[in-house]
Amino acid sequence: MGKRVAKEVSIAVADAVAQCKVDVVSAYPITPQTHIVEHLADLVNNGELDAEYIPVESEHAAMSACIGAAATGARTFTSTAAQGLLFMYEMLPIASAFRLPIVMVIANRAISAPISIWNDHGDVMTMRDLGWIQTFAENGQEAVDLVYHAYRVAEKAMLPVAVNLDGFIVTHVVEPVELLDQELVDKYIPPLKMKHKLDPKKPITIGAIGVPEIYTEARKAQDEAFKASYKVVVKAWQEFEKISGRRYQPIETYKMEDAEVALVIMGSLAETAMNTVDALREKGKKVGLIRIRLWRPFPTQDFIKALGKVKAITVFDRALSHGATGGPVGIEVRSALYQSNKRPKVLNLIGALGGRDVTTEDFEELFDRTFSFIKAKPRFAYEIFGAKE
Amino acid sequence: MLKDQGLMSWKELAPGMYILEPGNSVKFKTGDWKSHKPVLDKEKCIKCGQCYLMCPEPAYEENEEGYFICNLNYCKGCGICAAICPKGAITMVLEEA
């Protein structure tokens, strides 16, 4: 087993990326992702990582460089946040449509305007439909483990993977983190061998035109591969458990066995919510927590199973979909439940935007509201939580 | 049932819609939607081959007699050949529907 050392999570994530022996790192620094790529630049400069570091002039170029490099069979990494991710946008669906195993860490940050460097999930929700596998980390250890997992999945499923870490709250915290021994990493992530790649000795065309007679078929093929990646994701976690002893699943539950109400959350806020669950359980209240770790492809069956016997849930979204019927997670959850016989009441709140604190007391209030929602008539599609009137 | 418009099944496509066979575009007719087509007057033609050289597609091929003949399956009707011809041997005529 590896040694547990206190490290800033960004540094630990960069070390994990280096352990995966990436060939190309291409990134443009943006808060709160900066420390990750700075540390990788250091490692390349010191000769500790045998990779090309491409300091590009924009995120659009960062993703373009990764696409070009990955198409030749290189293992690639990039990282970004907020407006940087949006600047990358044009290239994101190309990476997934070309079935390139690019790994990107997104240090989640609210999008402008107004300018905010603080954390919410507004940035990554803009790319939820682009065919990238997406996972959300809760803490430093999980962030590191999801990086290893991302390379395993990306290269087995031949799809790009985005690992989401809450900006500052996860990225800049110093935590005890255990990195895997190098030999285990080498076993878990063997050298990348692509069946088809850009090679002058065996020429192929990537990025041809798709006339109306073939575009639909191309997207269907991509969609089938994307849906099939669910199994790859789960299997990679099972294999990871064997080498590390740490168990990960698409949906994480906390005290859900006999819960009457539950909160549904993604990312680091679940740690606070767990404390609230503990406190309320001591008072005899049957509350639980569901955390979505795998956001795309959405694990519908796992989610429905996780609900147990709850009568009402509150989906706590950290992104706004203006004028929609809910936040992105709320919409997803309601849509999944509509196809199911198990259909608890769903309260959808949008909060913790742009780094706004949500405390254990707030979660207590949320659980109270969820209890009273069991019998209430739903009136709102969604509500922004904590906005001062 | 929706009318079948697909070229091939999605299952037959290479991952990423890669084209694994270089040069396979010759299998597809790429010029059958043009509005004008070039017509050669062999009386005026001096077989200089400028149409062949300047064709952006390139749709012109030399035949056994040394004339350069346009393959209309690939001609997009741009009219460069007609414009470049030093003898005015090529005229663009309206493609009949």
Q: Is A326 exposed, middle or buried (0-12, 13-18, 19+ CB in 10 A)?
A: buried
The answer on A237 and A265 residing in a single domain is no
Asked whether residue A24 is assigned to any structural domain, the reply reads yes
Q: What is the CATH number of the domain that holds A305?
A: 3.40.50.920
Assigned domain for A389 exists: no
A15 vs A248: CA distance, rounded Å: 21
Give the number of C-alpha atoms closer than 13 A to the C-alpha of residue A40, restricted to the C-beta side: 31
**Same domain flag for A228 and A255:** no
DSSP state of B19: B
The minimum CA-CA distance between B29 and chain A, rounded to whole Å, is 13
Does some domain include residue A311?
A: yes
Q: Nearest CA to CA, how far is B2 from chain A (Å)?
A: 13
Range of A89's domain?
4-244
> pLDDT-based confidence at B3, cuts 50/70/90?
confident
Let me know if residue A157 belongs to a domain.
yes
Contact A213 B6 (CB under 8 A): yes
Q: How far is B89 from chain A (nearest CA, A)?
A: 35
Q: What pLDDT was estimated at residue B2? A: 66
Distance CA A193, CA A197 (A): 9
Q: Are residues A229 and A267 in the same domain?
A: no
Split into its structural domains, chain A has a count of 2
Query: Which pLDDT tens digit goes with each residue over A171-185?
Result: 999 999 999 999 999
Query: Residue A151 falls within a domain, yes or no?
Result: yes
Q: Does B23 touch chain A (CB under 8 A)?
A: no
| B18 vs A contacts (CB less than 8 Å) | 98, 196, 204-206
Question: Distance between CA atoms of A63 and B24, rounded to whole angstroms?
Answer: 29
Q: Let me know if residue A286 belongs to a domain.
A: yes
Distance CA A120, CA A101 (A): 26
A200/A51 same-domain check? yes
Tell whether A229 and A94 lie within a shared domain.
yes
A16 lies in the same domain as A132:
yes
* pLDDT at site B97: 63
Residues A293-315, mean pLDDT to the nearest whole number: 97
A184 and A267 in a single domain? The answer is no
Q: How far apart are CA A40 and CA A255, in angstroms?
A: 39
- Same-domain check for residues A49 and A141: yes
Q: How far apart (Å, rounded) are the C-alpha atoms in residues A144 and A100? A: 21
Is A220 in Cβ contact with B10 (below 8 Å)? Answer: yes
What CATH number is attached to the domain comprising A52? 3.40.50.970
CA distance B13 to chain A (A): 7
Tell me which of B10, B29, B30 to substitute to probe the interface with A (most A C-beta atoms closer than 10 Å). Answer: B10
Q: Is residue A200 within 8 angstroms of chain B, CB to CB? A: no
pLDDT in tens, A57-116: 999 999 999 999 999 999 999 999 999 999 999 999 999 999 999 999 999 999 999 999
**Is B83 at the interface with chain A, CB within 8 A?**
no
C-alpha A375/C-alpha A379 separation (Å) is: 12
Question: CA-to-CA distance for A279 and A360, rounded, in angstroms?
Answer: 9
What domains, with CATH codes, occur in chain B? 33-94 (3.30.70.20)
Q: Which residue of A has its CA nearest to B9?
A: A217
Residue A227 at interface with chain B, using a CB cutoff of 8 Å: no
- Which tokens go with A301? 């069956």
Looking at the structure, do residues A38 and A95 belong to the same domain, yes or no? yes
The pTM for the full model equals: 0.91
Of A221, A244, A267, the domain-final residue: A244
Average pLDDT for B24-47: 89
**A278 lies in a domain?**
yes
Q: Are A214 and B6 inside 8 Å of each other by CB?
A: yes
Nearest CA in chain B to A98: B16
pLDDT digits (tens, 9 = 90+) for A138-158: 999 999 999 999 999 999 999
Domain edge (last residue) among A179, A214, A244? A244
Asked whether residue A83 is domain-assigned, the answer is yes
Structure-block tokens of residue A342? 């198990």
Which residue in chain B is spatially nearest to A206 when comparing CA positions?
Answer: B18
Per-residue confidence at B30, pLDDT binned at 50, 70, 90? confident
Do A140 and A273 lie in a common domain?
A: no
Out of B5, B10, B22, name the one closest to residue A205 (CB). Answer: B22
The percent of residues above 90 in pLDDT, for chain B, comes to 70
For residue A115, give the DSSP letter. Answer: P
Q: Sorting pLDDT into bands at 50, 70 and 90, what band is B4?
A: confident
Map tokens 């064709």 to a residue.
B55
Chain B residues whose CB is inside 8 A of the A217 CB are 6-10, 13
DSSP characters for A184-219? Answer: HHHHHSPPP--SS---TTS--B-S----HHHHHHHH
Under an 8 A CB cutoff, do B16 and A224 touch? no
Is A218–B17 a contact, with Cβ atoms under 8 angstroms apart? Answer: yes
Q: Are residues A27 and A61 in the same domain?
A: yes
Same domain membership, residue A262 and residue A226 = no
* Residue A203 in contact with partner chain B when CB distance is under 8 A: yes
**Whole-number pLDDT of residue B78:** 95
Q: Contacts of residue A98 in chain B, CB cutoff 8 Å? A: 16, 18
Lowest mean pLDDT among A57-61, A308-312, B1-5: B1-5
CB A257 within 8 A of CB A308: yes
Among the candidates A194, A215, A244, a domain finishes at A244
Mean of the per-residue pLDDT values for chain A? 96
Q: Is the dihedral of CA A336, A326, A143, A257 positive or negative?
A: negative
Closest chain B C-alpha to A194 CA, distance in angstroms: 11
Strand A76-80 with A103-108, pairing: parallel
List the single residue in A with minimal CA-CA distance to B19.
A205
The beta-strand segments (E) located in chain A are 4-8, 24-27, 52-55, 76-80, 103-108, 133-136, 161-166, 174-178, 251-254, 261-265, 287-292, 294-296, 312-317, 345-350, 383-384
Which candidate from B6, B16, B19 shows the least CB-CB separation from A217?
B6
Tell whether the model's pLDDT for residue A363 goes beyond 90.
yes
pLDDT of A327-358, one tens digit each?
999 999 999 999 898 899 999 999 999 999 99
